[in-house]
Amino acid sequence: QKEVEQDPGPLSVPEGAIVSLNCTYSNSAFQYFMWYRQYSRKGPELLMYTYSSGNKEDGRFTAQVDKSSKYISLFIRDSQPSDSATYLCAMYNQGGKLIFGQGTELSVKP
Amino acid sequence: KAGVTQTPRYLIKTRGQQVTLSCSPISGHRSVSWYQQTPGQGLQFLFEYFSETQRNKGNFPGRFSGRQFSNSRSEMNVSTLELGDSALYLCASSLEAAGSYNEQFFGPGTRLTVL
């Protein structure tokens, strides 16, 4: 069983839809939860990071962490075709290694 | 400010050969981490170098090695290439050692194909 589980999709939504991306993890010692976005033929870029349970908002993006359930989410409001990319959740384990989810491929159709 | 650069961008090798990939971090960044990305396994941590010392290592065989120079540039080497080593190899740099939160900035990757 992987330490971080993420549905690989692909996920296809119409423009303007609300997108929900999720990851579960097994190790309660994980901290610093991140979401990366990766466009085709590019390296991942950091979208958001959170440390504690709760919500963090940045424009159309909201990151949510529920440590009691070992569950993190990324919500995208008013999705745009430019949001089409692979979204990766990631978190640091206690050894200082960054552990990634499988990535969810998102396509936003005009 | 220039981002993380990786060379070469694409590489084709045959089984049994060895390969060296190069990474130049963002100016001032002292930590360089390497990752392997494949469709089946996703992004997996290879190793991290900080101030020329390997600070952390993932679960990869000894055929995968790396080093970091005094100017923070890093190289990774894969010896005796196998078909399964075909992947996108990503380098990421951060100001300080990864772990307690330091944002890692990724390069565009080197696409290695092993025939």
Q: Would you list the DSSP string of B39-52?
A: TTTEEEEEEEEETT
A41 touches chain B (CB under 8 A): yes
Instruction: Report the C-alpha gap between A8 and A105 in whole angstroms.
Output: 6
- pLDDT recorded at residue B98: 67
Contact status of A40 with chain B (Cβ, < 8 Å): no
Predicted local confidence at residue A31, as pLDDT = 80
B46–chain A Cβ distance below 8 A for any pair:
no
Asked whether A83 and A61 are in contact (CB, 8 A), the reply is: no
The values of phi and psi at residue A82, to 5°, are -70, -10
In chain A, residues with a C-beta closer than 8 Å to the C-beta of B58 are: 97
pLDDT tens, per residue, chain B with 115 residues: 689 999 999 999 999 999 999 999 999 999 999 999 998 889 999 999 999 999 989 999 999 999 999 999 999 999 999 999 999 999 999 988 766 677 899 999 999 999 9
Interface test with B, best of A97, A99, A100 (most B CBs within 10 A): A97
Query: Which of these ranges, A13-17, A57-61, B65-69, B103-107, has the smallest mean pLDDT?
Result: B103-107
The two structure tokens encoding residue A95: 């050894």
* Nearest CA among A21, A50, A46, A22 for reference residue A36: A46
| Mean pLDDT, chain A, integer | 92
Q: For residue A88, what pLDDT is reported?
A: 97
**The pLDDT of residue B96:** 81
Say whether B92 and A42 touch across the interface (CB within 8 A).
no
- The per-residue pLDDT for B100 is 62
Contacting residues of A for B92, CB less than 8 Å apart: 43
* Residue A51: pLDDT over 80: yes
**Nearest CA-CA distance, residue B81 and chain A, Å:** 23
The mean per-residue pLDDT over the stretch A53-76 comes to 94
For position B1, what pLDDT does the model report?
A: 66
Per DSSP (E only), the strands in chain A are: 4-6, 11-14, 19-25, 31-38, 45-50, 54-58, 61-66, 71-76, 85-92, 98-100, 104-109
The confidence score (pLDDT) of residue A2 equals 83
B-chain CB neighbours of A97 within 8 Å are: 45, 48, 56, 58, 98
User: In a 3-state reduction of DSSP, which class is residue A73?
Assistant: strand
Nearest CA in chain A to B43: A100
| Residue B2, both tokens | 């220039």
Q: What chain B residue is nearest to A90 in terms of C-alpha separation?
A: B43
Averaged pLDDT, A27-43: 91
Pairing outcome for strands A54-58 and A61-66: antiparallel
- For chain B, say whether A94 makes contact (Cβ under 8 Å): no
Q: Per-residue confidence at A34, pLDDT binned at 50, 70, 90?
A: very high
Interface residue A100 vs chain B (CB under 8 A): yes
pLDDT value of position A97 = 85
Of A32, A41, A97, the CB nearest to B58: A97
pLDDT exceeds 70 at position A22: yes
Average pLDDT over residues A10-33: 93
Q: Is the CB of B42 less than 8 angstroms away from the CB of A100?
A: yes
Average pLDDT over residues A24-32: 89
Here the tokens at position A84 are 């089409």
